[in-house]
Amino acid sequence: MPQQAFPAIGHVFHSSGKQDYYRSLLQVQNPNQYYVITEEDINRLFLEFEAKGVTHSHKRSVEYIITMFLKEATKENNGRYIFTMKDLKEYLTLIRQSYSPSFYRKNITYLKKLFRIAGIDLAESLKAPTELNVDLTIVTVDDIKSLIQLVDSLHISNRFEDWKRDQFITAMLLMAVSGMRVSELERIPLKEIDIENRRIRLNTHQTKTRQSRVVFFTYEVQELLEDYIR
């Protein structure tokens, strides 16, 4: 006689034992090779997204991806969906090779959520590729010239004092040739600019990425800095 009145309830509501319980109900050979997802797991996943107040299109996206996974990677067994590690690997390989990186990442994200609900220990093994947000904007010489003309026009109209004009143009050109951010330049004391060797060492507390680096500037900017310091 079991120590608990309803031992199966513990398996269902504690994810660590869910898969063992699900496998015990399968009518297949070698049940331990299978992972099991139930309709209850799927409905709970959708309920979580509903509770978060996601948009209708977001919800449709989740439903589409989960339905696609169930259709392509699992087999139905008495109202449950079963799959092996091999099935999952083949499915993810197909998605990665046939669809965009963003669609692949969505698959990983939603499947991980579903696997956690179903008590499948593969959730932590699924890794989505890092999405690199690279700003491809290139500042051209014409862009810099246009900005200098704008500053000069403000100076001529007495809206920019002499010192402000000189400081702005020097700073702008220094950032353009060195690749420094505005926030980084603001943190650099003038005394730490190595004018003679045309370089600036940025410490970890001065950079956005918290990684130190050395930047360099041109002879033209060197002359501007020398005049600015005087």
CATH of the domain at 82: 1.10.150
Q: Calculate what percentage of the chain has a pLDDT beyond 90.
A: 28
At 90, is the pLDDT very low, low, confident or very high (cuts 50, 70, 90)? Answer: very high
pLDDT of residue 216: 92
Pair (155, 201) in one structural domain: yes
Distance CA 157, CA 230 (A): 25
pLDDT of residue 64: 96
- Beta carbons of 151 and 160 less than 8 angstroms apart: yes
Pair (36, 107) in one structural domain: yes
Looking at 65, 97, 125, the residue that finishes a domain is 125
| Residue 136 included in any domain | no
At 24, is the pLDDT very low, low, confident or very high (cuts 50, 70, 90)? Answer: confident
At 7, is the pLDDT very low, low, confident or very high (cuts 50, 70, 90)? Answer: very low
pLDDT of residue 130: 62
Pair (152, 109) in one structural domain: no
pLDDT of residue 43: 92
Spell 146-178 as b/e; 16+ CB within 10 A means b: ebeeebeeebeeeebeeeebbebbbbbbbbbbb
| Residue 130 included in any domain | no
Lowest-confidence pick of 51-65, 90-104, 120-134, 200-214: 120-134
Count of domains forming the chain: 2
| Residue 42 included in any domain | yes
Mean pLDDT computed over every residue of the chain: 82
pLDDT reading at 86 higher than 80: yes
